[in-house]
Amino acid sequence: MNLIRYGEKFFDELEIAIYRKKNVGVDVELNQVALSSSSERTVTVIRGIKNKRIGIYIVDSDDEGEIKRGIEIAAKNAENNEKDDRWESLPGEQKYADVEIDLDYGIKSLSPDFFVNLSNEAMREINERDKHAMVAGGSAGSQWSENRIMNSHGVDIMQEFGGTFFYLFVVGRKGDVVTPGMVEFEVRRDTNITKDFVVNSILEKLKYAYTVKGADSMEGNIILEPLALAELIFFALLPAVNGERKVKNTTPLGDRLGEKIFSDKITIYDDPWHPLSINPIIADDEGVAARRNMLFDHGVFKGFLWNTYWGNVSGEGSTGNGVRSLSTGGVGIGAHNLVVEKGKRTKSDIISELKNGFLISAFQGAHSSNPDTGDFSVVANPAFKIENGEIVGSTVFMMSGNIYELLRNVEEISDTERKIVMMGNGVYPDILFRDVKIAPVSK
């Protein structure tokens, strides 16, 4: 805390956040490992407030001399910045949750060779089992983080966590048929990651993808796999529970607290301590105690996510959802580990009872969804046709609608739980929806 005391010469209040990260990984392109790497980086973010003027400075080091120099520069930045009359205070001392968190410290010592071997074994097996398949891309790796947040109000918290991941993108070509790209992945918070699930799942999908089926304009039954579901929720729904948007009146949920929004089968919450979470934190990026925040309980809207600034502006207070950008140093609002609660039916049972429908693995264009309204228009790719309870081939089609209407038309939820990190951090099941509008892709 010597640095905090030094900074108090320049500021009314001061926050210093130190992030140490180690990344190990490989990139795969065209059936070979194209790149392997190992890197370590330390970033220190200084945020000071003087007379309600905020100064931020980022140092690529944890060297005490460099941080002191950064504090002085941040003070000059604050002098030149406009006064923010809405600023109240940095957070004070916290009582953190007493939770048992299992960490695999072996992640810290993983080398690129581990992931090179993993990737090569997976590519070799895919090519041996399907002569028509090509691994077009992918990556594998690990990250270990050690973060310390301290401020002039007594906050001083150190946290560490890490995870491993493996992802492949595979295309098949048989005769005149070129399949859509098949994506599969696995994410863990230990070193037990293997090729088996990724390889077997991709080969199973390719088996169906060589048979191409058309898709007519209709309103039908759609099963969204976890990645596809995560894409829609991340872009069309998640921004609406951001407290800043409530203050600015740019969310459709602004005055709907306590109202039933979705099917009673839908429960969504932010849970940093979920067993699949790879960042099981007890404090957010401002040192505020993290907690499990219910967002939708059996379809009923229960509340927004807040950081300290917007929580103070609104009078709601922080929910422990301050998330820092290491490129700007600012603190926004975000979910730590969004969970869509699983159901009780197996995915295979849900498929087996479906006379006609589609299974969607991923979308193109979900980023263009409108979070102000929840509207979306996306391309389902890859997608699979289901007839009489069996997958009979692959297809591509347009799917349009509104996330609020979609989550009201829930038929079944699988007992699957998949960790997703491509669209924020979350845990998602498969969900069967009814009466979803689809149309052929224009050529």
215 and 100 within one domain: no
Which residues, 6 or more positions from 298, have their beta carbon under 8 angstroms from its beta carbon?
264, 265, 266, 267
CATH number for 78: 3.30.2290.10
Task: Verify that 147 and 216 share a domain, yes or no.
Answer: no
Residues 322 and 387 in one domain: yes
Tell whether 202 and 294 lie within a shared domain.
Answer: no
The total of structural domains in the chain comes to 2
pLDDT in tens, the chain (443 residues): 789 999 999 999 999 999 999 999 999 999 999 999 999 999 999 999 999 999 999 999 999 999 999 999 999 999 999 999 999 999 999 999 999 888 999 999 999 999 999 999 999 999 999 999 999 999 999 999 999 999 999 999 999 999 999 999 999 999 888 898 999 999 999 999 999 999 999 999 999 999 988 777 778 899 999 999 999 999 999 999 999 999 999 999 999 999 999 999 999 999 999 999 999 999 999 999 999 999 999 999 999 999 999 999 999 999 999 999 999 999 999 999 999 999 999 999 999 999 999 999 999 999 999 999 999 999 999 999 999 999 999 999 999 999 999 999 999 999 999 999 888 899 999 999 999 999 988 65
Q: Are 261 and 133 part of one and the same domain?
A: no
Range of the domain at 333: 211-443
If you search the block for the tokens 């950081």, which residue do you land on? Answer: 307
Average pLDDT across the chain, whole number: 95
For residues 259 and 179, membership in a common domain is answered with no
pLDDT for residue 61: 94
Q: How far apart are CA 296 and CA 170, in angstroms?
A: 36
pLDDT digits (tens, 9 = 90+) for 329-356: 999 999 999 999 999 999 999 999 999 9
Domain boundary among 177, 206, 235: 206
- For residues 61 and 182, membership in a common domain is answered with yes
Q: For helices 112-129 and 196-209, give the axis angle rounded to 10 degrees.
A: 30
Please name the helix (run of DSSP H) or strand (run of DSSP E) that holds residue 238, with its range, or none.
none
Based on the fold, state whether residues 188 and 223 are members of the same structural domain. no
Last residue of a domain, one of 188, 206, 224: 206
Do 200 and 226 have their domain in common? no
